[in-house]
Amino acid sequence: MTSLPGTTGQGKDAPPPPYREIAGLLTTASVPAAKRLDFWREVVCHTIAGVEATALAEEQPYAGAIHARSIPLVHMPSFDLVRVEADPQRINRTRKLIGLQTEPTWLLMVQGEGTCTIRQGGQEATLEPGDIGFLDTVRPYEVMFPHAFRQSILKMPTPLFYDIVPRNCDVAGMALSGDDALTAIARQNIVLLERFVSAIDPVLLPAAANRTLEHLALAARSLFEGRIGRHGHNASASAFARACAYISGSLGDPSLSVEQIAAAVGLSSGHLQQVFRQSSGATVGEYVRERRLACCRRDLADASLAHQSITSIAFRWGFSESSSFSRAFRNAFQTSPRRYRDGCRQDRSAHNPCSDVT
Q: What is the pLDDT along the chain (358 residues), one digit of tens a residue?
A: 232 333 333 344 444 333 333 446 788 888 888 888 888 877 766 678 888 888 887 767 888 988 888 888 766 778 999 999 999 999 999 888 888 776 899 999 999 999 999 999 999 999 999 999 999 999 999 999 999 999 999 999 998 888 787 666 788 999 999 998 889 999 999 999 999 999 998 888 888 898 899 889 888 876 655 443 344 446 777 788 788 888 988 999 999 999 999 999 999 999 999 999 887 788 999 999 999 998 999 889 888 888 999 999 999 999 999 999 999 999 999 999 999 999 887 776 665 533 433 2
Give the whole-angstrom CA distance, residue 128 versus residue 271. Answer: 38
Residue 111 phi/psi, 5-degree rounding, is -75, 125
In 3-state terms, what secondary structure has residue 80?
strand
Among residues 42, 6, 47, which one has the least CA distance to residue 25?
Answer: 47
| Topology (CATH level 3) of domain 235-351 | Arc Repressor Mutant, subunit A (1.10.10)
Sequence ranges of the domains in the chain? 19-186, 235-351
What pLDDT is recorded for position 24? 67
CA distances from 131 to 153, 159, 314 (A): 12, 23, 36
Q: Among candidates 239, 246, 209, 202, which has minimal Cα distance to 224?
A: 239
Q: Answer whether 1's CB lies under 8 Å from 7's CB.
A: no
**Predicted pLDDT of residue 239:** 83
Query: Which pLDDT does position 14 carry in this prediction?
Result: 42
Predicted local confidence at residue 4, as pLDDT: 30
127: which residues sit within 8 A by CB, 6+ positions away?
109, 111, 115, 116, 117, 118, 133, 175
Element containing residue 175 per DSSP (H, E)? strand 175-176
| Alpha carbon distance 68, 26 (integer Å) | 9
pLDDT at 21 (0 to 100): 38
Cβ atoms 139, 88 nearer than 8 A: no
Note the pLDDT of residue 248: 84
Residue 355: predicted pLDDT: 40
- Residues paired with residue 109 on neighbouring β-strands, in sequence order: 133, 153
**CATH 2.60.120.10 fits domain 19-186:** yes
Which residues, other chains included, contact 129 with Cβ-Cβ below 8 Å and sequence gap of 6+? 111, 112, 113, 114, 115, 178
The DSSP H or E segment spanning 151 is strand 149-157
pLDDT value of residue 263: 95
- Single-letter amino acid code for the residue at 253: D
